[in-house]
Chains A and B, each alone.
Chain A
Amino acid sequence: MSLKGYISRRAFDSGFLLILTVIFNFVLFRVMPGNPALAVLGRTGQVRPEFRQVLQERYGTNLPIFDQFIIYIQRLLEGDLGVSFYYYPTEVSELIFGHRLLNTILLMGISILLSFILAIIFGTIAASKFKSKTDLVSIFVTLTSYSTPVFWLGMLIIFYFFGQFHLIPLSGSPRIEDPKYADIFAWAIDYCYHLIGPVTTLTISFVGAWFLIARDQMLGIFLEDYITTARAKGLKERRVLFTHARKNAMLPMISVLAMAMTYLVSGATLTETVFSWDGLGLLTFDAVTYSDYPLLQGLFLLVAAVAIVSSFIADIIYAYLDPRIRY
């Protein structure tokens, strides 16, 4: 099959999956007995009659389920994700697509990039020294970091680097609107300063998860005949490792990266909670805590859409990089 044919088939698959997700999203939040608004009332104990009003107006919650679905789809196509219960009367889309999205993308983007590079470098080195001391020590260290709960790591970092050594700020994410910043640079510097803690936490945790994948890929590739050939050719070891081996090891790592793209918008709930980083992860936590269903629904949809799109893109890159795959 040509590359074009492959792309169009995968595009069709992804579209189908997207539709399924929308349906799933609709159903999931309507499986509770009765009206979601009632559930909210029951949980929080606060009587907010305007909710029922809003739900009926916007989503026709008094109508049969099929009509509700039609209205839901129509609203969705208009880009309307509903009104948050907790932050009423703020729109869900306003909550998601604002400074929180930016905060999360910056935090996750930097951490993912750093961890990805570190995991590949360490993985390659460990694999090239298979079963040496370096290899065993790095395996032990990464297994330990894999086994460490990320939020506890964050707590430790706060305890030592804020509490004992005063190297990082306690928590929070500076907002540019804050009047205490004279100009954008002052804000940017303080922002980076606040990023150190959560980025370190996430990077340690991601490297723990990805190092072994990278090492395993490399080991598999070192057994391949073309690596033996490359060595026989007397190429510099650096070229063997980082041109011949890496190109092939990169392929499965792309799936890892695609998976990480989802974190880019889902945020790291635990890390953001520990560091009070005002991102989408913290927003998810709030939405769950206050049973803010419209908000949860919106977040879920965003994450699922990004998941589907990034896996689609990953497949295309994969097919582009590996000429054998265009089946």
Chain B
Amino acid sequence: MIMVLLEVKNLSTHFFLKESRVRAVDDVCFTIAQGKTLGVAGESGCGKTTTALSIMRMLPPAGKIVNGEIFLDGVDLLKKSKEEMRQAKWKELSYVFQYAMNAFNPVMTVGEQIAEVIIEKENSKSKSVKKEAWKKVKESFEIVGLDPDRIKNYPHEFSGGMKQRAIIAMAMACDPKLLIADEPVTALDVIVEKKILKLLKEIQSNYNLGIMFITHDLSVIAESCDDVAIMYAGKMVEVGDASTVFHKGAHPYTRMLIRSFPSILGECKRIEPISGIPPDLANPPPGCRFHPRCPLASKECREDIPPFESFSSSRHHVACFHAGETIL
């Protein structure tokens, strides 16, 4: 029995700019199971990060969640008050940011920054809590494979890979149920990337952690995710388990995206870029948002928005009128 950890239903997040309204995330649905990883992929600007920030309720001032529900363990995060949300952060769900290199405050030690969040979540400043917190900091350093003697070091004394480990240690400090990792390995070299991915896997199986893994790199997803969600222009186009999406992807965008990635081990073939550019989200095309770039586009696609329906199995959803049709 798969236990659902996170369920996002019909989430729409729009940015209200001076003269326009950017539909950055539009009617997005997906779930993450306990102890599983969902990889979210798509081009830059397709709404991956906005979706994640909506879950954290940390949108910039112009961004507003206009519709939808976000259930974490059965509780709607959007119904929480600001204060309840603040308390839930890090205890229930934590976040590893893009550009992790600057995620630590340069004038505080790494240990301090991990300890402070543990202490604040305890809501007490007694000596024993502080002592306990520092003990946990040491443990968390050990878990991520860092030398516990370095908790009193400053961020600039750490290398990139070490910082990334420290950030994961920080994210795990309060034993959250869900970890949102936004491009956690993009800035790292391939070898460190491998190690960090392995570390995440280990932690996940030890702590039954759900992970939402955002990346634009399909090979990283193939390597580390159970499920895959493909986003295009603020819409979810295909969700399913990794092997289904990679081998039997039904949405033309999914298939073209996979084809545009080179494979090292597979046969040597020409990679095919997707022609055209993503649409302006302040003024999206009517119907399916992918139709201007889609080789299968028909009249229907230009007029109606394709519903997000189950396709080959109950866990495989696709939003396309021509799902599964062959691309010439």
**Does a CB–CB distance below 8 Å link A and B in the complex?**
yes
Interface residues of A (CB under 8 A from B): 224-226, 228-236, 239, 243-244, 247-248, 251, 321-324
Q: B263 an interface residue at 8 Å Cβ cutoff?
A: no
Decide yes or no: A248 and B106 within 8 Å by CB, A234-B87, A239-B116 being known contacts: yes
Instruction: Determine whether the beta carbon of A248 is less than 8 Å from that of B91.
Output: no
B56 at the interface (CB under 8 A from A): yes
With a cutoff of 8 Å between Cβ atoms, the chain A residues found around residue B164 in the complex are: none
Residue ranges of B at the interface with A (Cβ–Cβ < 8 Å): 56, 58, 85-91, 94-95, 97, 99, 102-108, 116-117, 120-121, 154, 156, 170
Indicate which residue in B91, B97, B117 contacts A228 across the interface (CB closer than 8 Å).
B97
Closest A residue to B103 by CB, please name it: A229
Evaluate contact between A323 and B156: CB separation under 8 angstroms.
yes
Q: Please, which residue of chain B has its CB at the minimum distance from the CB of A228?
A: B97
Residue pairs across A and B with CB atoms within 8 Å: the count is 70
Greatest chain B CB density within 10 A among A224, A232, A248 is at A232
In the complex, the chain B residue whose C-beta lies closest to that of A245 is B105
Q: Per DSSP, are chain B's interface residues mostly helix, strand or loop, or mixed?
A: mixed
Decide: A234 and B104 in contact? CB cutoff 8 A: no
Contact B97 A322 (CB under 8 A): no
Given A235-B117, A322-B107, A225-B102 contact (CB < 8 Å): yes
Verify B58–A233 contact, CB threshold 8 A: no
On whether the beta carbons of A236 and B86 are closer than 8 Å, the reply is yes
Report, nearest first, the 5 A-B pairs whose CB atoms are least far apart. Answer: A234-B89, A225-B102, A226-B105, A234-B86, A229-B103
Kindly report which residue of chain B lies nearest to residue A248, judged by CB atoms: B107
**Chain B residues, CB < 8 A from A225:** 97, 99, 102-103
Which residues on B sit within 8 Å (CB–CB) of A247?
A: 105, 107-108
A226 in complex: contacting residue of B58, B87, B106, CB < 8 Å? B106
Report whether B106 and A323 are in contact in the complex, using a CB–CB cutoff of 8 Å. Answer: yes
The docked-state distance in angstroms from the alpha carbon of A247 to that of B156 is 16
B102 contacts across to A, CB distance below 8 A: 224-226
Given A239-B116, A239-B120: A230 in contact with B105 (beta carbons within 8 A):
yes
Identify which of A233, A244, A322 gathers the most chain B CB atoms within 10 Å of its CB: A233
Verify A235–B116 contact, CB threshold 8 A.
yes
Q: Is the CB of A324 within 8 A of B58?
A: no
Asked whether A234 lies within 8 Å of B105 as measured between CB atoms, the reply is: no
Residues of A within 8 A of B99 (CB): 225
Taking the nearest CB of chain B, how far is it from the CB of A313, in angstroms? 19
Measured CB to CB, the closest approach of chain B to A242, in angstroms, equals 13
The answer to whether B105 touches A235, judged by C-beta atoms less than 8 angstroms apart, is no
Residue of chain B at shortest CB distance from A323:
B154
Q: Which residues of B contact A248 (CB under 8 A)?
A: 105-107
Most buried by B among A225, A243, A244, A247: A225
Does B156 contact A324, Cβ atoms closer than 8 Å?
Answer: yes
Q: Which residue of A lies closest to B60 (CB)?
A: A228
A231 to B154, CA, bound (A): 20
Contact B106 A229 (CB under 8 A): no
With A228-B97, A232-B94, A235-B117 given, is the CB distance from A321 to B103 under 8 Å? no
